[in-house]
Amino acid sequence: MLTIATGNKAVADAVKDAVPAVVAAYPITPQTEIVEQIANYVASGQLASKYIPVESEHSAMAACIGASATGVRAFTATSSHGLVYMCEMLHWAVGARLPIVMANANRALGPGWNIWAEHTDSLSMRDTGWLQVYVGSVQEAYDATLMAFRIAEHADVLLPVMVNLDGFALTHITQSLETVDPGDFIPPMKLPHAIDTGRPAGYGTLTAPGDYYRFRWDIERSMRNAASVIEATQDEFGKRFGRTYGMTEEYRCADAEVVVVAMGTLGKEVEIAVDILRGQGVKAGSMRLRWFRPFPDLDLAGKEVVVIDRDYSFGFGGIVAHAIASKYDVPIFSVIAGLGGQEVTYDDIAGFVRDRRPGDEYWFGVDA
């Protein structure tokens, strides 16, 4: 059905359509509308989930872990300080191999207190073992959330998925949204190690050095499987519902000499900058990273790369720029822009690309 929705409402609608057994929720700006809307769906009988209003984000993830461990689908949403508060439990969900789905409204960390978009919150959780996808429109927020359940619960994955959407820039804007009837696109969840009182077993016990690394390797093996599961799921989604997605979204990349890499809504704005640059004779292309974990294979051979990081690792650099630098031997101009909701326009982006200095780092608004 075609309607309009905010990014937050789109996530809530996808959750309604995926019917998790348990939703554990703690509000935080700018995701609050997600858990409010889900609460409405549960209260009005449109969604038959157990809704647990917990006392903190750490508890929200703990409740999802408890629910998921019994073999049922679980969802929560958070943002920024809420996400980092649940950090311990994020690692736990991965180690316990629980396919929880969570939406994260990307928001800067304080102080200075700030409620606007930045990716440092989720990127600082990149080593937890959660799959991470970053979306660039209201429709994509819905589609990615729906697909996240199928990907997480796939027998070859069994890892949690974090769907990231830019705070305010996407959570609070209204665009068209076409919801679907998922039917058997999301099969019932089957967790091989679900707690079963008829088959008692020990969970979370001491794991000695002789065994621990095997579990770590098993997580990595599943993460390596995840890329093909993601691609197969996205292809199947496209066949059934007509909207196709890749690990990245590429725009005018094939013959590009300089490729701009960004994530989230900035990655969409880049496409307009690319059109402007092409009009000025600069052979530019856009490569919006959708998935950050697992990290996709990128075709960057022979190209110059401008990476726009809406994040930063202090004492090191832009997190996306360094991820690319570690995998690809290409000249990179690293731009740090959009922190804490800093306004970045397509004209600004076109300027970064025109004035690029491969090998350098440039802080938008700070450097000359």
Partner 1 sequence: MYEIRLHSRGGQGGVTAAKMLALAAIREGKFATACPFYGAERRGAPVVSYIRIDDAPIKVYSQIRQPDLVIVLDMSVMETVDVLQGIREDGRVLINSPHPVDMQGHPTYHVDLTGIALSLNLVIAGSPILNTPLMGALAKMGYVTFDSVKGAIEETFSDDRNVEAAQLAYEELER
Distance CA 294, CA 296 (A): 6
Exactly one of 32, 175, 225, 313 binds partner 1 (CB under 8 A); that residue is 175
Could you say whether residue 115 binds partner 1 (CB under 8 A)? yes
Could you say whether residue 173 binds partner 1 (CB under 8 A)? yes
Exactly one of 80, 122, 234, 265 binds partner 1 (CB under 8 A); that residue is 265
Six token digits for residue 336: 């740090």
Could you say whether residue 172 binds partner 1 (CB under 8 A)? yes
For partner 1, give the closer residue by CB, 140 or 153. Answer: 140
Query: 254: number of CA atoms within 13 Å, CB side?
Result: 0
Give the range of 100-108, 269-277, 294-302, 328-336 binding partner 1 by CB under 8 A: 269-277
Exactly one of 268, 293, 303, 356 binds partner 1 (CB under 8 A); that residue is 268
Q: Is the peptide bond before 20 cis (omega within 30 degrees of 0)?
A: no
Q: CB of 299: closest distance to partner 1 in angstroms?
A: 22
Map the footprint of partner 1 across residues 131-170, applying CB under 8 A: 137, 166, 168-170
Q: CB of 268: closest distance to partner 1 in angstroms?
A: 4
Could you say whether residue 207 binds partner 1 (CB under 8 A)? no
Q: How many residues bind partner 1 (CB under 8 A)?
A: 25
Rg over CA atoms, the chain: 20
Distance CA 1, CA 201 (A): 45
Distance CA 26, CA 23 (A): 10
Residue 234's H or E segment, with its range, is helix 209-241
For partner 1, give the closer residue by CB, 176 or 207. Answer: 176
For partner 1, give the closer residue by CB, 58 or 243. Answer: 243
What is the per-residue binding string for partner 1 in 277-316, x denoting contact by CB under 8 A? ----------------------------------------
Structural contact between residues 104 and 78, judged by C-beta atoms closer than 8 angstroms = yes
Map the footprint of partner 1 across residues 54-73, applying CB under 8 A: none
Instruction: Of 180, 142, 156, 323, give the one whose Cα is nearest residue 231.
Output: 156
At 114 the three-state DSSP class reads coil
> At residue 205, what is the residue type?
T
Token pair 């075609």 is found at 2
Structural contact between residues 130 and 190, judged by C-beta atoms closer than 8 angstroms = no
Exactly one of 127, 343, 355, 367 binds partner 1 (CB under 8 A); that residue is 343
Six token digits for residue 128: 């937890």
For partner 1, give the closer residue by CB, 39 or 274. Answer: 274
Distance CA 157, CA 192 (A): 12
Binding site residues, partner 1, CB under 8 A: 2-4, 30, 115, 137, 166, 168-170, 172-176, 265-266, 268-269, 271-272, 343-346
